[in-house]
């Protein structure tokens, strides 16, 4: 993986079921944590599931912050970022909104909505000091509404 680059994966499942998946390329410090579950379901069942997830995420009765928490969990953010102040591959997000962070180039930036959005779509534009520029871009994988909800969630992490 190269920071800031897009990687595509196409699968043609031949079998319905739930499968453990693992990253097979050494790509950085958090490599051993890159695990997941692949769920293969019949097409009709998948389409029904997808509609339900969209309603829960963006059209349900959840607050924007709760919607953002769902995005945070489903997008895999917890693999690299903690919400409790503990150290991980990426900076903790506890108390991040409104704080000032030092960047790898020595500059300091105020963590506001614009900075957080930029960090999601162009993550290597401003890298926090002490961390590697390994965060992938979410430019093509998160919709604007999902990014806004994610930022609303990060505002609550006191």
Q: What is the CATH number of the domain that holds 53?
A: 1.10.760.10
Q: Is residue 109 part of a domain?
A: yes
Q: Is residue 8 part of a domain?
A: no
Query: How many CA atoms lie less than 13 Å away from 137 in the CB half-sphere?
Result: 15
Q: What is the pLDDT of residues 37-47, one digit of tens each?
A: 889 999 899 88
Q: Is residue 122 part of a domain?
A: yes
Q: What is the number of structural domains in the chain?
A: 1
pTM of the predicted model, to two decimals?
Answer: 0.67
Say what the alpha-carbon torsion angle 75, 148, 129, 105 is, to the nearest 10 degrees. 130
Q: Is residue 24 part of a domain?
A: yes
pLDDT score for 4: 54
Say what the alpha-carbon torsion angle 25, 88, 79, 73 is, to the nearest 10 degrees. -160
Q: Is residue 53 part of a domain?
A: yes
pLDDT score for 11: 81
Q: Is residue 6 part of a domain?
A: no
Q: Is residue 12 part of a domain?
A: no
Range of the domain at 147: 17-155
pLDDT over 60 at 135, yes or no: yes
Residue 51: band (very low, low, confident or very high) from pLDDT cuts 50, 70, 90: confident
126 against 62, higher pLDDT: 126
Q: Please count the other Cβ atoms lying within 10 Å of the Cβ belonging to residue 90.
A: 21
Give the Cα separation of 99 and 34 in Å (integer). Answer: 29
Q: What is the pLDDT of residues 4-45, one digit of tens each?
A: 556 667 788 899 999 888 776 666 666 666 777 889 999 899
User: DSSP character for 77?
Assistant: G
Residue 38 structure tokens: 């692949």
Give the Cα separation of 112 and 68 in Å (integer). Answer: 16
pLDDT score for 2: 55
Q: Which position has the token pair 């349900």?
A: 60
Beta bridge partners of 154: none
Q: Is residue 151 part of a domain?
A: yes
């Amino acid at each position: 993986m190269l920071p800031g680059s897009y990687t595509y994966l196409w699968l043609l499942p031949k079998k319905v079921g739930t499968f453990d998946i693992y990253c097979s390329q050494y790509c950085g410090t958090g490599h051993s944590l890159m695990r997941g579950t692949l769920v293969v379901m019949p097409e009709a069942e998948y389409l029904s599931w997808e509609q339900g997830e969209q309603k829960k995420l963006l059209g349900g009765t959840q607050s924007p912050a709760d919607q953002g928490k769902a995005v945070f969990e489903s997008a895999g953010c917890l693999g690299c970022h903690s919400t409790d102040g503990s150290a991980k591959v990426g900076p903790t997000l506890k108390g991040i909104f409104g704080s000032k962070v030092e960047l790898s180039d020595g500059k300091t930036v105020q963590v506001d909505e614009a900075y957080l959005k930029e960090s999601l779509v162009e993550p290597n534009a401003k890298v926090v000091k002490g961390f590697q520029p390994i965060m992938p871009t979410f430019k093509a994988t998160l919709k604007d509404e999902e990014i806004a909800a994610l930022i609303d969630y990060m505002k609550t992490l006191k």
